[in-house]
Amino acid sequence: MTDIETKRRLTVNTEGNAGPYLMVPLDQLPEVRNVLQQNGIGHVVAPDAIGLNGRPVIAIIDFGRSADVGRIQAVLDAA
C-alpha cells in the first residue's frame, strides 16, 4: 500500500519503546483500517492526530508490543 501523500510505501515503524506503529494520512485512515480489519490485525488509532497548520493530517495506528510486524508489513504490501 502506498502513502497517498508521499507516494512511498507505508512502512510499519519499530523505533522507540512504544511498540510498532504506522503513520497514515488522515484521509487514508479508513482504507488502511479496513485492510487491517479484513486481515484480523489488531490495532488502535491514537486519539490525537499529528497536525499541520492547525489541522490534523497524520493518524498514528498502534499495533502493540506483541504484534507480528512482518505479517502486518506483508498485508500492507499486498494491498
Give a yes or no: residue 12 inside a domain. Answer: no
**Residue 15 above 90 pLDDT?**
no
Domain that holds residue 26: 21-78
pTM score, whole prediction = 0.89
**Residue 69 above 80 pLDDT?**
yes
CATH number at residue 53: 3.30.70
Sign of CA dihedral 33, 38, 40, 41: negative
Number of domains into which the chain is organized: 1
Give a yes or no: residue 1 inside a domain. Answer: no
Average pLDDT of the chain to the nearest whole number = 92
3-class DSSP state for residue 78? Answer: helix
d(CA 28, CA 72) in angstroms, rounded, equals: 17
Give a yes or no: residue 13 inside a domain. Answer: no
Give a yes or no: residue 14 inside a domain. Answer: no
What confidence score (pLDDT) does residue 48 get?
A: 81
The tens digit of pLDDT for each residue in 20-55 reads 999 999 999 999 999 999 999 999 999 887 777 777
